[in-house]
Amino acid sequence: MLPVIFDLDGTLIDSDPDIRAALNRVLVAHGHPPLSMAAVRGMIGDGAAVLVQRAFGAYGVASTRAHLAAFLADYEAHAVVETVPYEGIVGALTTLQARGHAMAVCTNKPAEAAAAILGRLGLDGYFQAVIGGDSTPFRKPDPRHLAATLAAIGAGRAIMVGDHANDMDAAAGLDLPSIFCAWGYGKAAGTRRAEQPSQIPALVAELVLTDPPV
């Protein structure tokens, strides 16, 4: 049975409100106006350092390590204020677990923060591993980040589920099937497209049938 690897932000959880709130508090503290939801959504997906760089860059300012540290400290203290799993995600994970799929998370978010959020939302019991953007020297779209997640669960192949081109590109780099989540923060195309989380189990079942044996 093929394992299933999930992205986190924009795929499993709607974390934009808490990310944006923490980012804007740091921006305001340094004399800049807060960014809109649309602006921040377009900056999410490449890890915290790039997010902070893009946010300050929007005002023509180069971000510093102090800016990043301030964001991480604020966000980690307020990561699950408004953040929730997308409607239908818990049901999809429960179905996949019942069918015997091993599952893991591969995210560009720092691993400790990702694991803490999953735990506070009661999602941690579904996943055998959580590989973050600081778990390896690589981050999605580098396929080596996804390969490290496969290794963490002892798998040679898996289905990648995500909402960003980084997820789809990482999967393509390893010639893995993928499911693009249309409800998230990015735009991309995968082997299959899910319009809502409840469609994931059926799409996984299709890909299991069509994936060539190793």
Is 7 known to be catalytic?
A: yes
207 with 158: CB under 8 angstroms? no
Number of domains comprising the chain: 2
- Using the 3D structure, point to which of 77, 95, 115 is the last residue of a domain: 77
Per the structure, the complete domain to which residue 131 belongs is given by 4-14+84-210
Q: Is the pTM of this model over 0.95?
A: no
CA distances for 34 relative to 21, 27, 38, 71, 107, angstroms: 9, 6, 12, 14, 25
Apex CA 148: angle with CA 146 and CA 152, to 5°?
Answer: 115
List the pLDDT tens digit at each of the 214 positions of the chain. Answer: 899 999 999 999 999 999 999 999 999 999 999 999 889 988 988 888 999 999 999 999 999 999 999 999 999 999 999 999 999 999 999 999 999 999 999 999 999 999 999 999 999 999 999 999 999 999 999 999 999 999 999 999 999 999 999 999 999 999 999 999 999 988 899 999 999 999 999 999 999 998 866 5
pLDDT at 213 (0 to 100): 62
Q: How far apart are CA 22 and CA 43, in angstroms?
A: 14
Q: How far apart are CA 35 and CA 26, in angstroms?
A: 11
Same structural domain for residues 105 and 194? yes
pLDDT at 187 (0 to 100): 87
Same structural domain for residues 155 and 201? yes
- Using the 3D structure, point to which of 77, 93, 121 is the last residue of a domain: 77
Helix (H, G, I), strand (E, B) or coil at 84: strand
Burial annotation 94-121 (CB, 10 A radius, 16+ → b, else e): ebbeeeebbbbbbbbbbbebbbbbbeeb
Same structural domain for residues 139 and 197? yes
Same structural domain for residues 106 and 190? yes
